[in-house]
Chains A and B, each alone.
Chain A
């Protein structure tokens, strides 16, 4: 998979900004044409896209798979809840600031523990640490509200500049918040692009591809991974912060491991070897989730099956798959996609010849 499944590969920063502005304008116009429910879902989609972008910095660019990102999402969300309930914060900007600070702190703390270790240990340590947070939130229910959660009233945007009173104020808020999230989203995307294409980002990819070689070249593996971890956790924390005004209820469930699994799934769905994969994955996932939960009762089964199928047949995700398809249609040599079917056939053939694997 060294060959590109990233349709933005080699694109200069200026061109990227142009593309992004186009996308931004499109997204800004979209609410006029879709029902308000869809706008609401799209807002959630953008929020989780921020989280997925952050998650993919670790997975796609540094090669670290974390099953514990629910922790940072939860930290962001709970910080907002505590700030509102216990410190009387009313504007979202203050909440964002506070949430970001906490996210950075917790990411740094968890990061120090996790990044020293190899892949399996890393994944499970992250999971374990996030489960600890969940246990704390669950058990200390007199502080955190446990499964009942903490209700967070609607907050002021932009320090109270915008007024949300009067009839129809809920809808006004929804639209206004959509644009708010859109702006934050666009800024996050730009920032992530800059990070990923900077020397730091290149170093991360070097670490991902060949750790020993990176070390010989002089890259301090642990420090770089730690910084990537902090950035990743903070992005996910930001998503948690932004999520609260929409959901207005913060329960211990958001720290539970299936939420981490959802981040993994979103990123894989879109494709983790792309810059844009996680974004599409998150938006599609939000939409899909709403549709399917209404239809089938066993959502985890569905999720698990799709995950397995994705890994078996479409490991590059939707964006990766589409990119390769387009490349093939254009007559370019298709990137060497790891062909699982061929591998399976080979494996079976070998078994038959009793050579073992």
Chain B
């Protein structure tokens, strides 16, 4: 029973991370209609930068400051995203899809090696954070408190995002641009700024996913593609362009993977792809998609 509870909590934790990344991907797609193959790289950037910063600061500063440092990786992602979007990506929205797929793939390669160059090949970790919070008793076993905090952070971000998109004026502008760019532009919205902000926001979310997960997992090379594929699976299941879909998709994928790892450890990825294929066959736009 306790093992089950732990598995469930692990699933929710993983789902939280997935939601952030897939949500970012969905957001960018919803507003700009592109899928950024380097999105996984922002996740990796978030993980590496946060791990590095926390690793460097641990032992020198108050433990609670370390928490405030968590989002640093996410901010790094947002800034980089804000720089890339207007310069490299925007000229390609109107052209054939292949071009921006190739372009973002090139960016992915560049980011991979840049991370290797900057941070070296040793895995980085941010153990200080997870140690600081200790563990708590859960039905006979101990479970890291940090995981709950991470879930809470992701939940808070989800709520904030929901409020932002549906409750603020800027959210209205965002949704308007997503629905009909020309009309929004005709009505006087600064579409360029909206694009930059949307892309930065999506990248921030991906980076935050990486930042949250890195205390529990070390930051290693190869994260980008791995996470890209899983995030893609989530948005396929949940539907491109829908945050609600990203949430549900993240939960489904997470629970399937956890169950898969438990019962079919060697082929748990394959189980996931079978589900993707099934979803694509019967509901090509995903559960909530509008692509």
List chain A positions with a Cβ less than 8 A from chain B: 59, 63, 65, 67, 113, 116-117, 119-121, 123-125, 127-129, 131-132, 135-136, 139-140, 257-258, 261, 264, 268, 298-301, 303-308, 311-312, 315, 338, 340, 343-344, 347, 350-351, 354-357
Q: Which of A124, A135, A307, A338 contacts B106 (CB 8 A)?
A: A307
A264 cross-chain contacts in B, Cβ below 8 A: 102, 105
A356 CA / B93 CA spacing, docked (Å): 13
Whether A308 lies near B284 (C-beta < 8 A) is no
A301 cross-chain contacts in B, Cβ below 8 A: 109-110, 112-114, 117
Q: Does B63 reach chain A (CB closer than 8 Å)?
A: no
B229 cross-chain contacts in A, Cβ below 8 A: 124, 127-128, 131
Interface magnitude class on chain B: 35 or more
Whether B110 lies near A117 (C-beta < 8 A) is no
B9 cross-chain contacts in A, Cβ below 8 A: none
Whether B110 lies near A315 (C-beta < 8 A) is no
B191 cross-chain contacts in A, Cβ below 8 A: 356-357
A95 CA / B109 CA spacing, docked (Å): 34
- Nearest 9 Cβ contacts at the A-B interface: A356-B191, A304-B109, A307-B106, A301-B113, A304-B110, A308-B106, A298-B113, A300-B113, A304-B106
Residue of A116, A139, A140, A357 with highest tally of chain B CB at under 10 A: A357
Considering the complex, give the chain A residue whose CB is closest to the CB of B226: A131
A52 CA / B104 CA spacing, docked (Å): 21
Considering the complex, give the chain B residue whose CB is closest to the CB of A348: B86
Known contacts being A351-B192, A356-B191, is A121 close to B280, with CB within 8 Å? yes
Whether A347 lies near B97 (C-beta < 8 A) is no
Q: Which of A116, A117, A124, A357 contacts B35 (CB 8 A)?
A: A124
Known contacts being A120-B35, A124-B232, A343-B91, is A135 close to B269, with CB within 8 Å? yes
Considering the complex, give the chain A residue whose CB is closest to the CB of B112: A300
Q: Does B165 reach chain A (CB closer than 8 Å)?
A: no
Q: Which of A128, A136, A299, A355 contacts B185 (CB 8 A)?
A: A355
Q: Can you give 24 A-B contacts (C-beta < 8 A)? A: A63-B98, A116-B281, A119-B97, A120-B101, A125-B280, A128-B233, A131-B225, A132-B269, A135-B270, A140-B266, A261-B109, A298-B113, A301-B112, A303-B109, A304-B105, A305-B106, A305-B110, A307-B109, A311-B99, A311-B106, A315-B99, A347-B90, A351-B192, A356-B193
A84 CA / B92 CA spacing, docked (Å): 47
Q: A63-B98, A135-B269 are in contact. List 20 more A-B contacts (CB 8 A).
A: A113-B277, A123-B101, A124-B35, A124-B228, A124-B229, A128-B273, A135-B270, A301-B109, A304-B106, A304-B108, A305-B106, A307-B109, A311-B103, A343-B91, A344-B91, A347-B90, A347-B91, A356-B185, A357-B93, A357-B181
Considering the complex, give the chain A residue whose CB is closest to the CB of B284: A117
Whether B232 lies near A128 (C-beta < 8 A) is yes
Q: Does B116 reach chain A (CB closer than 8 Å)?
A: yes
Known contacts being A311-B102, A357-B191, is A304 close to B113, with CB within 8 Å? yes
Considering the complex, give the chain B residue whose CB is closest to the CB of A1: B96
Known contacts being A304-B108, A305-B106, A307-B105, is A59 close to B98, with CB within 8 Å? yes
